[in-house]
Amino acid sequence: DVETLRECVKIMNDARNIILVGMGASLVTLRDLYLKLLRISKPCTINEDWHSQLLSCKNSSAEDVAIVCSYSGNTTEVITCMNALKENLTQIIAITRCVDTPVSKLADYKLYTTENESLLRTAAMSSRISQLNIIDILYTALGTMNYDETIKVLHRTYIEKPKN
């Protein structure tokens, strides 16, 4: 849904801080978004352990936005974080599959991934690619919203690779 995507990008742009919440393979994809947001100097928070994620959510405010990533939509730790976000009136963008789950019910905005991966899988594969695709779309749209400033910041934050 293009209109939902536009609204999510506007909310991200206006947010004081972007809080990233996920577990397992979904957290790995959020780490990619975290690095992208750092490159364009957008304040964001990611924590590797659940207790730290929950504390970030408990300390959130209506000026923040949370991006929650959960393929199953049923991850207990993520749902607990979302409830804390709701208590603080923090808007929630969920990257999840297109089914009726606790995560999709708690989210203010839903960005859906493909729903063709078994929940009994050996590793996240197509779900991870779908999540990364949504993350790249959000990042690109956010960057083009303030294009001139984004280009300046990208030049400033570029890390040159060592020459051999």
User: Which residue did the predictor score with more confidence, 118 or 53?
Assistant: 53
Q: Please report the pLDDT score of residue 122 as a whole number.
A: 52
- Model pTM score: 0.91
For the cut 80, the answer to whether the pLDDT of residue 2 exceeds it is: yes
The domains located in the chain, with CATH, are 2-157 (3.40.50.10490)
pLDDT tens-digit series, residues 43-86: 999 999 999 999 999 999 999 999 999 999 999 999 999 999 99
Output the pLDDT for position 157.
92
Residue 27 has pLDDT above 80, yes or no: yes
Query: Would you list the DSSP string of 76-132?
Result: HHHHHHHHHHHHTT-EEEEEEESS--HHHHH-SEEEEEP--S-SS-SS--HHHHHHH
Q: What is the per-residue pLDDT for 118? A: 59
Report the mean per-residue pLDDT for the chain.
93
